[in-house]
Amino acid sequence: MATYKTRALVVKKTKLKEADLILTLLAENGEQLRAVAKGARKPGTTFSARLEIFSIVDAMLYKGRNLDTITEVRSVDTNEASRRDLEHLSYGAVISEFVEKVALEGEENPVLFPLTCAALQSVGRVEADALPFVIAGYLLKAISYLGYKPSIGQCTVCGASKEDYAQEMAEFADEVDLDGEGVFSISAGGWVCPLCSGFGELEADDIVSEPVVAWVKALIGLKFPQIEEMFSASEDAGALAGELLSFCDKWIYAHLETHMRSLAYLSRL
């Protein structure tokens, strides 16, 4: 029998016919599954309640030609707090959209499931004002694992490290005239040293401000509880929320070549 069992996160649900649901799931091994839950919306059934968006379930599925069918489901974690109001749901939608885009059918990815679950737990813990930081942290970590990590300490053009560069600057300060710190460019993939950024014009829209770069670096390196602490301890972080989301939007567009609708919407709020 072509049945199989997996732990999975419910990423999206769509109504099908009168009583069924189509679910998009992120399986524990990182692959995306699409499955039908037959009769899930019939009155009196608890099937649907266990398949709320962002809930983690142990599911039994039957392999179909196109879509698989969910035959049994046991709740592991309802993640209820992560969808407690409209704001949390709106930010959660970024996670759903991202998973749908990057998790592929039949392709394993060991990091995506634990990372996404950790992000949703963090979404559930924080108040609305910290959500942009949790979401940006999720996206930046996931992007880095997928091979599109922003280069922060090294010139993306010549490979010189920021430290080496500062040393050379000090040594040759009398002979060459190289001012400045370089720039952080989205299209170039990160920091571009003063020497390399001298070639050609970079568009203003492409250059990222220093405080945003500092947050990007922190968000990639810190775990979610630490991100939550850093946000609480910072008095002016809130003012950067829009810029940070806009950075993630532009970065994903430039390097993963996909447009995140949910993110573009949030960064304009």
Q: Contact residues for Zn ion (CB under 5 A)?
A: 155, 157-158, 193, 196
Environment class of 235 (CB within 10 Å of its CB; exposed 0-12, middle 13-18, buried 19+) = exposed
Could you tell me the maximum CA-CA distance found in the chain, to the nearest angstrom?
Answer: 81
Considering the complex, what minimum distance in angstroms separates the CB of residue 5 from Zn ion?
A: 51
The token pair that represents 154 in the structure block: 């090294």
The token pair that represents 25 in the structure block: 């799931």
Considering the complex, what minimum distance in angstroms separates the CB of residue 152 from Zn ion?
A: 14
Closest to Zn ion by CB, 30 or 150 = 150
Question: Residues 49-52: contacts with CB within 8 Å, 24+ apart?
Answer: 50/74, 50/75, 51/10, 51/13, 51/21, 51/23, 52/10, 52/78, 52/80, 52/83
Considering the complex, what minimum distance in angstroms separates the CB of residue 199 from Zn ion?
A: 9
Question: In 3-state terms, the chain is what percent helix, strand and coil (to 5)?
Answer: 45, 20, 35
Closest to Zn ion by CB, 36 or 193 = 193
Considering the complex, what minimum distance in angstroms separates the CB of residue 190 from Zn ion?
A: 11
CA gap 172, 15 in Å, rounded: 67
Closest to Zn ion by CB, 157 or 260 = 157
Closest to Zn ion by CB, 164 or 229 = 164
Considering the complex, what minimum distance in angstroms separates the CB of residue 253 from Zn ion?
A: 24
Considering the complex, what minimum distance in angstroms separates the CB of residue 108 from Zn ion?
A: 37
CA gap 158, 192 in Å, rounded: 8
Closest to Zn ion by CB, 49 or 158 = 158
CA gap 209, 244 in Å, rounded: 10
Closest to Zn ion by CB, 157 or 227 = 157
Look-up of token digits 């950790």: 118
Closest to Zn ion by CB, 40 or 155 = 155
Q: What single-letter amino acid sits at 10?
A: V
Considering the complex, what minimum distance in angstroms separates the CB of residue 207 from Zn ion?
A: 15
Asked if residues 132 and 231 have their Cβ atoms less than 8 Å apart, the reply is no
